[in-house]
Amino acid sequence: MKKLVLSLSIVALFLGSCSSDNEDISTQPLPTGTISGDITTAKSFPKGNYTIQGTVKVKNGGSLTIEAGSVITATVGDGTPDALLVENGGKLFLNGTAALPIVFTETSKTPGSWGGIIMFGDAPIVGANGVTTATSEDGNNLPYGGTNAAHNGGSLKYVRVEYAGKKLTDNTSEMNGFSFYSVGSGTVLENLVAYKGADDGFEFYGGTVSAKNLISFGNFDDSFDWQDGWRGEANTNWYAYQVGTGNYGMEIEAKAVNNAFGPKVSNITLTRAPGTVTEGGSSANEFDAIQFKKDGNGEYSNVVISGYTTTNATLTATAVRIQDKATNDNQVNGGVEKIGKIKMLNVKINDGTSQYAGVGTTFTVTFPTANFTTSTTATGATLTAGAWAIVDGVSLIK
């Protein structure tokens, strides 16, 4: 009996010590530190709270991994132009989860306070006059463009970027929430949020990458924007909610090059909240749901458009705006081939907004019947709720 009592006492002591250890582990503070400078080798950060200082550059041959649940904070008042930039040949691994997203934010919560996430690759582009390389417009003046359609810049899943994006002082350069320069199809972009930036939420500068499950919320310029012959074809579930200040839901251009290809995006929701104004004020005309210009094209299906009802002295908002005659001739009517390369399929337009319109009186927009189809049952984007889509206790999915 004495041996049994002694044995039970030892077991109880062991279990008690384990319980105490677990309690200590659960209350340990998360790691903290600063992410700065050039990253030239493989560098990893465990789940923690970090500060980004200056423009962090992941160089060719380097990689940066940050674990799920981490919060990375920029500070507009620290005197440095904070941004996270991945050069061609570098890799970024930000793999959060719906419950434990990786969040990039800024202390003052002021839109335009830092440069967001910028990634470069060497996938194909088609720039102005058909050029295949160009220089970035993010203030870093880096080259982009190449022939590597399968370029792999890493993996971004369940990442939220807050209060980034801004126009630079030269009035031609800009930073966005997410900027993708000639990024290739080997790169994974899934469940990303651009929240209250001072320029575009997401912008693609050429390349072949596709993106799934995107939220662009409260960004000042366009929710989604691209140029330079971006040709991602596996895009789905894009959701834009414009509130306060915002221009187009989607701005689509191709640098005035009549490309034989175009991107494809399925399951799109574009919503403009009442009272939302353009960056340029009441005289600006950038308030349509989707604008095509400079030979922008592509196929867009299962689209829901709501709230685009703005009227000013010169224009009334429309679901699809064809900005210029060349785009109408080449992409809507199909040019010599008569094959229209803009396709709007299964589109639900709410609030009495018209389907499409041009600008001025020099051309009339008329889509081939099969290239613009409407539906009362279109559903738009379908997104999974979770912490990744919640800011300050409020869900971004309306």
pLDDT means per 10 residues, the chain with 398 residues, are 36 38 61 97 98 97 99 82 95 99 97 96 98 95 98 99 85 88 99 98 99 98 98 99 98 97 98 95 89 98 98 93 97 85 98 96 95 98 98 96
Chain position carrying tokens 């102005």: 128
DSSP per-residue letters across 136-171: -SSSS--EE--S-TT---EEEEEEEEESB-EE-TTS
311 phi/psi in degrees, rounded to 5: -135, 135
Query: Any idea which residue has 């434990």 for tokens?
Result: 100
Q: Are 293 and 256 in contact (CB under 8 A)?
A: no
pTM of the model: 0.92
Q: By CB neighbour count within 10 A (0-12 exposed, 13-18 middle, 19+ buried), where does 57 fall?
A: buried
Q: Is 43 helix (H, G, I), strand (E, B) or coil?
A: strand
- Select from 212, 203, 254, 210 the least CA-distant residue to 232: 210
Residue with tokens 């200040």: 245
Give the total residue count for the chain.
398
Strand-pair category, 154-162 with 235-242: unpaired
Looking at the chain, the number of H-run helices and the number of E-run strands are 2, 30
The CA distance from 212 to 226, in Å, is 16
Name the strand (E) or helix (H) holding 17. helix 2-26
Q: What are the structural domain ranges in the chain?
A: 37-232, 233-386
CA atoms within 13 A on the CB side of 260: 1
Q: CB of 267 within 8 A of CB of 236?
A: yes
Query: If we measure between CA atoms, which residue out of 157, 146, 215 comes closest to residue 182?
Result: 146
Burial class (CB in 10 A: 0-12, 13-18, 19+), 226: buried
Predicted pLDDT of residue 313: 85
**Token representation of residue 194:** 């651009």
Beta bridge partners of 239: 215, 269
Angle at alpha carbon of residue 253, lines to 252 and 256, rounded to 5°: 160
What does the alpha-carbon distance between residue 165 and residue 200 come to, in Å, rounded to a whole number? Answer: 7
- What pLDDT is recorded for position 12? 38
Phi, psi of 188 (to 5 degrees): -100, 125
Cα of 105 vs its chain's centroid, Å: 15
**Side chain identity, residue 190:** E
- What is the per-residue pLDDT for 26? 55
pLDDT value at position 60?
99
Coil, strand or helix at 298: strand
The letter for the amino acid at 56 is V
Nearest to 212 by CA among 184, 231, 193, 197: 193
Identify the bridge partners of residue 188 per DSSP, sorted by sequence position.
155
Bridge partners of 104, per DSSP, are: 72, 161
Any residues with CB less than 8 A from the CB of 176 and at least 6 apart, and which? 116, 164, 165, 194, 197, 199, 200, 201, 202, 203, 225
Alpha-helical runs (H) found in the chain: 2-26, 325-327
Contact predicate 195/135, CB 8 Å = no
Tokens standing for residue 253: 């251009």
pLDDT at 79: 62
